[in-house]
Amino acid sequence: MAVTLNEPRTKDSPVVRRGAGKNWEKWGWVYMRASGLVLVVMIFGHLYVNLYAGDGVSALDFAFVAGKWASPFWQWYDLVLLWLSLIHGANGMRTLINDYSISPIGTGLKKLLSPHFIMKSALLGATVVLLILGTLVIFTFDPCPVSSNPELLPSFCPAAS
Amino acid sequence: MSLKSTQLPTPTPSKSRTLRPTSLLNGRISLPKRPAGTVYRGREGMWSWVLHRITGVGIFFFLLVHILDTALVRVSPEAYNAVINTYKNPIMGLGELALVAAIGFHGLNGLRIILIDFWSVGTRNHRLMFWIVIALWIVLMLGFAPRHLMHVFGAQ
Ligand code: HEM
């Protein structure tokens, strides 16, 4: 097969890329590293307070969580942890789907029904639903719900016994 | 005489860990014992990647469940405590140990990946950094495991 070579020093023809210059893949790469740095510190703090300090796991119950989320500090701490870690994990799982499943060549229904597309949609769906759920739980949470067993409530609740 | 690449003997993996492109055998120069480019396979670089991937996936699926069980605080104190109490047994206690072990490795090795990417001599020292990660991970686990197991198995 004959191959035509360009004259030496001819300029490369301009590369036309999809997404017109926005390198999303690069920002994903940057995000994995930036969020990773913050996550090491925050996950260490999370595990230290919930699993190590005091009586460790045996102290976990509703009153423990309510005691923490009565303070805006822990509400925001857990919110940042939720968003950073879930998006980091989901983006990592996206890498695995890209690595192990072949992306469909077709379009339309052929694309919609391919395992690759279904897995990516399920991943995106689960991530979005859990981000919304977690955020709502943190900020609509009531540490002293009326009509529940007073013995299970944190000690600062008026109804607590 | 010229040799075509297809006539070369199939490379057999050598026992020794050091790569030697050529060696003297009976005074004659022999061909490489294994192909170049296998410094990665089966060594620190590969295993750190395998472990990073497996721990990452494990933590991700744990996180999905963890967000759901924590969401039960919004249902009722009874619902949350009921589910958390089913976690308070030795099997889940060992699971928590495995979880901390996985996060500990993933986090420390993540820092190693970042150093490889951004530190000018990171790539050159990636193997040493892998063993430093393992050492720090062992220290972390020695600090966590005894205390956690005491909480799980009842002693205070
Ligand atoms: C403790 C702090 C953490 C650090 C420092 C960290 C760091 C990293 C880094 C640097 C990568 C490599 C990304 C790449 O190669 O482009 C990565 C991948 C990944 N991380 Fe994390 N991470 C942390 C926590 C987490 C958590 C909490 C999860 C789960 C929710 C997670 C899940 C993943 C997954 C699934 C991958 C993809 C693995 C692969 O491509 O082989 N990581 N992490």
Q: What is the predicted pLDDT for the residue at A15?
A: 64
Which residue of B60, B74, B77 is in closest CB contact with A92? B60
3-state secondary structure B124-156: CCHHHHHHHHHHHHHHHHHHHHHHHHHHHCCCC
* pTM strictly above 0.90: no
Q: Which of A53-62, A87-96, A124-133, B2-11 has the lowest mean pLDDT?
A: B2-11
Ligand 1 pocket mutation, candidates B62, B67, B99, B106, criterion most atoms within 8 A of CB = B106
A149 touches chain B (CB under 8 A): yes
Q: What is the predicted pLDDT for the residue at B155?
A: 57
Calpha distance B32→B35 (Å, rounded): 7
Ramachandran quadrant class, A69 (left: phi over 0; alpha: psi -120 to 50; beta: rest): alpha
A133 touches chain B (CB under 8 A): yes
Q: What is the predicted pLDDT for the residue at A147?
A: 77
Calpha distance B132→B126 (Å, rounded): 10
Report which ligand 1 atom has the smallest distance to the Cα of A39.
2
Question: What average pLDDT score do residues A7-34 get?
Answer: 82
Q: Which residues contact B130 (CB under 8 A, 6 or more apart)?
A: B44, B45, B47, B48, B109, B112
- More reliable by pLDDT, B28 or B86: B86
Strand partners, B29: B24
Vertex B110: Cα angle to B105 and B113 (nearest 5): 130
The CATH number that domain A30-141 falls under is 1.20.1300.10
Q: What is the predicted pLDDT for the residue at A105?
A: 83
Q: How far is CA B22 from the centre of its chain?
A: 33
CA of B72 to the centre of ligand 1 (A): 27
B65 touches chain A (CB under 8 A): no
Question: What average pLDDT score do residues A10-34 get?
Answer: 82
A23 touches chain B (CB under 8 A): no
Q: Which residue has the tokens 């993540």?
A: B110
The C-alpha R_g of chain B, in whole angstroms, comes to: 24
Instruction: Indicate the residue type of B63.
Output: L
Q: Which residue's alpha carbon is nearest to atom 38 within ligand 1?
A: B53
Closest-approach residue (CA) in chain B for A47: B100
Calpha distance A87→A85 (Å, rounded): 6
φ and ψ at residue B111, rounded to 5 degrees? -65, -35
What was the ipTM of the complex prediction?
Answer: 0.86
Asked if the Cβ–Cβ distance from A52 to B147 is below 8 Å, we say yes
Using CA atoms, how far residue B79 sits from A62, A143, B73, B74, B75, in Å, is 9, 14, 7, 9, 7
Are A72 and A143 spatial neighbours (Cβ–Cβ below 8 Å)? no
pLDDT grade for B12, boundaries at 50, 70 and 90: low
Q: Which residue's alpha carbon is nearest to atom 28 within ligand 1?
A: A89
Q: How far is CA B19 from the centre of its chain?
A: 25
In this model, does residue B59 exceed pLDDT 90?
Answer: yes
